[in-house]
Amino acid sequence: MPPEIQALAERAARAWDMKVTGWTVAATKPEKGWGAIWRIETDRGPRALKLLHRPFERNLFSIGAQVYLVRQKARVAPLVPTRDGKLYTVVDGRMFIVAEWIPGLRQAPKDTPDGAALLCSGLAEFHRRSLGYRPPPGAAHASRLHRWPRVYQKLRTKLDWFEHLARAYRDMPASSALLEVLPRFKAQADEAIRMLEASAYRKLIARGDQAWGLAHQDYGWSNGQVGPDGKVWIIDLDGVAFDLAFRDLRKLITGTMDDRGDWDLNWIKAMIRAYHEVHPIEPEAMQVMLIDMYLPNEFYKLVKDVLFDPNMLDGALVAALQRLLVTDERKQQALRELGLKRRR
């Protein structure tokens, strides 16, 4: 932690009616303008002090969301007002908040479908309780509801960039392997774009932001934590935005399957079922989620860093591409069994 950031945090803490007796760095985001979280020991009990790294108006959106979710009895940490009743303080242009520290949180077990299902039910509860949120005056309107087609097209464009790079660095170990598999994933991206356009996507988003509520946007095994009561608490809310909230579920499923290296249908069905029991997914929305799964997200995530460092076109990428081809076959089979309606 840079000393100047620590000094800012100590100055910020004075805005709250508490005596800080200990500091522990819980997380840092140096690549994002130095966001950070500290666990602070105070005379009022342990708390979390957070340095927010997003623009001021964007932070107001997430702060308002956290207040709303607490009011709706979602399992998120309550914010602590400052001495003068505000929910944040600004020091040298940097925004800080303080929240209660939720004790006894632990990661859900990753070795059985039950842990994944628990995360999904907690996510569904979060989504359900976020319905109806309206950002406070002065806040940015953070919505990704209408951005899906642009996101798909951006991914497709970058697949062309991968090809240009691989041709420019033909002598690198992974270039030929990348050129060999690119047609497969380009075709998937093209088909996903067509399927999204032909789906109920535009009908669904026409319902508006409040009807869909908030997506966490970065939900996973570290941001959904199990409390002593066995219920899931949602942490790190600074990226929340209006969206078709089931995209969080898609990301959790595809990320979990990618980490496991296997598209296990029993796991996937358990995850969808756990979510659906708390916050039902209608059939048209399910099709849109399956289309979002079909988009070659895993391939893109695997290869994207070569755009910044062509030296990553190495032997390790060759092996990773070979593994991905195997898991992609299993992914396609799983999507068929889940009911994805491909365009012919």
The residue from 102, 124, 159 where one domain ends is: 102
Instruction: Please tell me the predicted confidence (pLDDT) of residue 52.
Output: 95
Query: Is position 91 within any domain?
Result: yes
What is the CATH classification number for the domain harbouring 218?
Answer: 3.90.1200.10
Q: Which of 37, 68, 102 is the last residue of a domain?
A: 102
The answer to the question of residue 124 being in a domain is: yes
Residue 208 placed within a domain: yes
The DSSP H or E segment spanning 183 is helix 175-198
Q: How many domains does the chain have?
A: 2
306 belongs to a structural domain: yes
CATH number of the domain residue 12 falls in:
3.30.200.20
pLDDT at 341: 87
Tell me, yes or no, whether 193 lies in a domain. yes
Strands in 8-117 per DSSP E: 20-29, 35-42, 47-52, 89-91, 94-100, 106-107
Listed residue (201, 224, 185, 188) closest to 289, CA to CA: 201
Find residue 5's DSSP bridge partners.
none
Clarify whether residues 256 and 140 are in a common domain.
yes
Give every residue of the chain whose pLDDT is below 70, as ranges. 32, 343-344
Domain span at residue 67 reads: 3-102
Residues pairing with 143 in the sheet = 242
Instruction: Enter the DSSP assignment of 147.
Output: -
Look at residue 108 in the predicted model and tell me its pLDDT: 94
59 and 155 fall within a common domain? no
Whether 94 and 131 map to the same domain: the answer is no
Structural contact between residues 108 and 44, judged by C-beta atoms closer than 8 angstroms: no
Q: Are residues 78 and 195 in the same domain?
A: no
Cα–chain-centroid distance for residue 141? 18
Q: Which pLDDT belongs to residue 29?
A: 82
Residues 121 and 47 in one domain: no
pLDDT at site 164: 97
Same domain membership, residue 195 and residue 57: no
| Same domain flag for 97 and 120 | no
Nearest of 189, 202, 199, 204 to residue 153 by alpha carbon = 189
Alpha carbon distance 23, 331 (integer Å): 45
148 and 285 part of one domain: yes
Could you say which of 102, 123, 150 is where a domain stops? Answer: 102
Tokens 């941001």 -> residue: 223
pLDDT for the residue 11: 97
Amino acid letter for position 301: K
Quote the tokens at residue 335: 């999507």
pLDDT at 32: 66
Q: Are 44 and 122 members of one domain?
A: no
Which pLDDT score is estimated for 204? 98
pLDDT value for 1: 81
pLDDT at 53: 92
- Going 194 to 197 to 201 to 203, the CA torsion angle's sign is negative
Pair (123, 97) in one structural domain: no
In SS3 terms, 84-103 reads as CCCCCEEECCEEEEEEECCC
Dist. CA 225–CA 337, nearest whole Å: 30
Residues in the chain: 344
Q: DSSP 3-state assignment of 264?
A: coil
Q: What is the pLDDT of residues 196-235, one digit of tens each?
A: 999 999 999 999 999 999 999 999 999 999 999 999 999 9
Q: Answer whether residue 267 is part of any domain.
A: yes
